């Protein structure tokens, strides 16, 4: 019986910390060009999920303050368990913890799923910051 409970717990844990691996383009306001960094999460968060948020915030505050202040770049955390966020989570196909870059330009949204990267590098602060910075810089050049 203990093995059964462990397997159920393990399955729930891993499915709560997974997201879809897809990139989508959607229509948006044509007058706005910006990049949103979106950290989706559930109410109950694991240490890796919390570390992804902390690393992302630290990088944005250290390296992208000017873009954040100008509104070209923004960061938000979204609890997908909150009913008010269901539509947004569905739009991004976020079923658990997920990290996205949402590039908005020319009236189109491009969803770039960084979830696999974020989970793999969450506890390597330097690698996480270096790689996320490069990904954001690459998208800022496209605006």
Instruction: Summarize pLDDT for 46-74 with one digit per residue, the tens.
Output: 999 999 999 999 999 999 999 999 999 99
At residue 18, does pLDDT exceed 60? no
Mean pLDDT for the chain?
Answer: 86
Protein fold of 2-140:
Glutaredoxin (3.40.30)
Q: Which residues contact 14 (CB under 8 A, 6 or more apart)?
A: none
At residue 87, does pLDDT exceed 70? yes
At residue 88, does pLDDT exceed 90? yes
Cα–Cα distance measured from residue 118 to residue 23, given in angstroms and rounded to the nearest whole number: 16
The total of other beta-carbon atoms located within 10 Å of residue 43's CB is 9
What is the predicted pLDDT for the residue at 29?
A: 52
The pLDDT of 26-48, averaged and rounded, is: 85
At residue 128, does pLDDT exceed 90? yes
The pLDDT of 76-95, averaged and rounded, is: 96
At residue 11, does pLDDT exceed 70? no
- Top pLDDT among 17 and 109 is at 109
The pLDDT of 33-54, averaged and rounded, is: 97
Which tokens go with 19? Answer: 């997201």
At residue 82, does pLDDT exceed 60? yes
Cα–Cα distance measured from residue 18 to residue 100, given in angstroms and rounded to the nearest whole number: 13
The residue with tokens 């793999």 is 120
**What are residue 25's DSSP bridge partners?**
110
What is the predicted pLDDT for the residue at 70?
A: 97
- Top pLDDT among 107 and 51 is at 51
């Amino acid at each position: 019986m203990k093995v059964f409970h462990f397997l159920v717990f393990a399955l729930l844990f891993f499915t709560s910390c997974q997201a879809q691996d897809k990139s989508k383009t959607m229509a948006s306001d044509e007058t706005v060009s910006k990049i949103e960094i979106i950290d989706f999460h559930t109410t109950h968060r694991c240490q890796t999920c919390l570390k992804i948020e902390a690393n992302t915030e630290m990088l944005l505050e250290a390296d992208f303050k000017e873009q954040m202040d100008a509104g070209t770049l923004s960061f938000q955390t979204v609890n997908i368990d909150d009913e008010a966020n269901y539509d947004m989570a569905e739009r991004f196909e976020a079923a658990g913890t997920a990290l996205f870059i949402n590039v908005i330009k020319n009236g189109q949204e491009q969803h770039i799923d960084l979830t696999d990267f974020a989970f793999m590098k969450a506890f390597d602060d330097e690698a996480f910051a270096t790689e996320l910075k490069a990904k954001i810089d690459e998208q800022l050049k496209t605006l």
